[in-house]
Structure 1
């Protein structure tokens, strides 16, 4: 009885542990989903604000907003492309590591551009814009290079796979239509079959029957052969005489003539 109680208690504890683990995992997944949703919403709001600043605030502030928008768009597109491609092509792990290092410089530049938006000294801000544009172009060019290289690699693999698939399909189609391919030596020529109809070009013509050879005339050699056979064979009667002729009761017997 005590053993049964211990087993039940142990099962109860296991159920509690599994339930607590499931609750923690569910809460973590929900939290990650909420954080992801908030990040996307915040990013959408920031991008919309930057687009509005590029049109509403001309000058240095508008140029700063345009630089931030260009930087964020390029880095986000490259990040999505690499994360999507590394699942199918493990060789992109090195490219993803390089992008992580590039992202550090991108975040530093984005933070600096964001701080300069509230800079009251417009003259100093205008003097620093050329260097900020150059840094933005360097980072976005590197990110675009990684992104397009990954896409070109994926397209190359897809094209190679398509070419191989087309070759295999052509071979299979040729094997299915085997009757349409004939060896060149079996094709009839015009000189060999001048009277063959056009529809019989795919099959070899039937050979003409060989002419019947005339049989030798026995009349010319019959006398000679017969004379030789007569000379070689011994003479024999035409009809072999039978054994003594039987007599029947209805036959009349002839009496011998008397001599008197």
Structure 2
């Protein structure tokens, strides 16, 4: 009986522990979701503020806002591209490592630009602006290079897969339409070669000459002798010739 009670108590404790763990995980996921939402909302508000300053405030202050907006947009786009592509291409992990190192310099520059926005000395701000502009160009160029290289790699893999798929479809389509293939015509049968004549056995034939009429050939019948001419009464009889 005591063993049964102990087992029930142990199961109860396990259920409580599992419930507490599940509650902590759910609360943590909800908290991360809320933090992500708050961060995204704050980022959106800040981006709109920078865009408004870049148009509303001309001069160094407006250019500082433009540099911050350009830097943040480039870094964020590269980060999203790399993290989306690493799920299908693990070779991008090295690129993500390089981007994280680049992000350290990016956050440092963004903080410095943010501090320069509230700088009251306009002369100092104008003096520092060329250096800040150069650093921003270098960072955004590196981020853009990583992003476009990752996109070109994904497009190349997609094109290779599409080429292979198209070739397989062409083969399958040809197999399905096998009846449309015309059979090749049969080659004509070879003619037998004419036998070579032996000059020793070949006899030359000449055209026959016309033969003369021989006795054996039947002769054409002679013409019938002419019949006696009729004697008319007015014709004179010939006188008999004298015998003396």
Bin for the TM-score computed over the shorter chain: 0.7 to 0.9
1:184 partner SS: coil
Q: Displacement, 1:183?
A: 4.0
Structure 1 counterpart of 2:104: 104
Aligned residues: 188
Structure 2 distance, partners of 1:139, 1:183, is 65
Q: Deviations over 1:146-187 (max 9, x none)?
A: 000000000000000000000000000111111222343348
**Greater share of residues in helix:** 1
Alignment partner, residue 22 of structure 2:
22
For 2:118, what is the secondary structure of its paired residue?
Answer: coil
- Matching residue of 1:60: 60
What displacement does 1:56 show?
1.2
Match of 2:214 in 1: none
Which whole-Å CA distance do the structure 1 matches of 2:44 and 2:126 have between them?
28
Structure 1 regions of 5+ residues with no counterpart?
189-260
Matching of residues 21-40 of structure 1 within 5 Å:
21-40=21-40
1:111 is displaced (CA, Å) by: 0.2
Q: CA offsets, 1:103-149, max 9 Å, x none?
A: 00000000000000111111111111111111100000000000000
From the CA coordinates, give the structure whose radius of gyration is larger: 2
1:123-162 to structure 2, matched below 5 A, reads 123-162=123-162
| Distance change >3 Å, CA 43–CA 14, structure 1 → 2 | same
Mapped to 2, the partners of 1:131 and 1:186 lie a distance apart of 81
Higher relative contact order (CA 8 A, sep 6+): 2
Flag as ranges the 4+ runs of structure 1 deviating above 2 A.
182-188
Aligned to 1:255: none
Q: How far apart in 2 are the matches of 1:38 and 1:186?
A: 79
Give the TM-score normalised by the residue count of structure 1: 0.71
Q: How does 1:171-186 map to 2 (within 5 A)?
A: 171-186=171-186
Give 3-state SS (helix, strand or coil) of 1:55's partner.
helix
C-alpha separation in 2, matches of 1:14 and 1:124: 65
The corresponding residue for 2:203 is: none
| 2: CA distance, partners of 1:115 / 1:56 | 19
Secondary structure of 2:185's aligned partner: helix
2:187 & 2:18 partners in 1: Cα distance?
79
Structure 2 portions without partners, runs of 5+: 189-244
Over aligned residue pairs, what C-alpha RMSD do you find? 1.2
Query: Which position in structure 2 is the counterpart of 1:163?
Result: 163
